Structure 1
């Protein structure tokens, strides 16, 4: 299956960069960072192709998203062990089309991977919370 691994890794690493401007959203809810993040990347010379992850990870239902966008969105959610069935279903369809396997096979395989990652979410979030944000 062909994916742009480097682009997906870049997207995963930078998708929430706007939170560096909207510090309250580092540890709490909010979407003010959504508008800021893409602009931050573009201002620093990042190509629009890579900066797109800052916009697409929260709006994965857009018609122009590709598998890499969906993977960044899925990783963002599973980091906290949050399941979004519609997002997972989109990824499963992409995987099934790419591999030729049946949808239910891809669903089960992906669910197993997501469960393993999600099971460690509490430890990750506790570690993250051990570094308080001072605004």
Structure 2
């Protein structure tokens, strides 16, 4: 007898290939409450895992930049929640999910500080985007081995500001890490694709 996947099982269940951290339980409950498609839950879990790895790497800096770890993890775990309302954007282009996601989170009692990631994860180049916003955007790219030089440059600039290290050192360190994460993209992509867009 086969087990039918559910939002909680995709969000929280053990995985082996790839090995992924579970989403926060409160996020899993929210995704179940809004009826998030399983493909979306799988995507959010992949991005959340990469964001956690980025945070671990950034946190080993001396000095480590001041980053609200919970905000980044929550942002990564919910950044595309608006695709619940615009499921066509799960398999095709579109940006309607961005504002819709922020509004959905606000309607469920999430603070504007945390809901912002749903609206701004694709607009990382706008003035005022801080390191937390950039890390969510970066995780949303590199989980599938997509490299965006302009985004990575902005992250390097923020890391240099915190560490005082030369840009080339920060760049080489980040590049090495992102290359390693990108090389592991195929199992993540396959795991996400194994989950249905509808139902």
Q: Which residue of 2 aligns with 1:127?
A: 191
Q: Alpha-carbon deviations, 1:49-86, whole Å to 9, x = none? A: 11111112110111121100000000000011111100
Aligned residues: CA RMSD: 1.1
Residue pairs, 1:69-84, within 5 angstroms: 69-84=133-148
Q: Which runs of 4+ in 1 moved over 6 A?
A: none
Matched, 1:51 2:111: no
Q: Is contact 2:98–2:120 with CA below 8 Å preserved after alignment?
A: no
Q: Which residue of 1 aligns with 2:156?
A: 92
| Count of residues in correspondence between the two structures | 135
Matched, 1:109 2:173: yes
- Structure 1: how far apart are the matches of 2:186 and 2:89? 19
For 1:10, which of 74, 80, 85 is the aligned residue? 74
Query: Gaps spanning 5+ residues in structure 2: where?
Result: 1-64
Query: Gaps spanning 5+ residues in structure 1: where?
Result: none
In the superposition, the TM-score normalised over structure 1's length comes to 0.95
Q: Is contact 2:157–2:167 with CA below 8 Å preserved after alignment?
A: yes
Q: Alpha-carbon deviations, 1:7-57, whole Å to 9, x = none? A: 110101010000111112223322221221100000001111111111121
Larger radius of gyration: 2
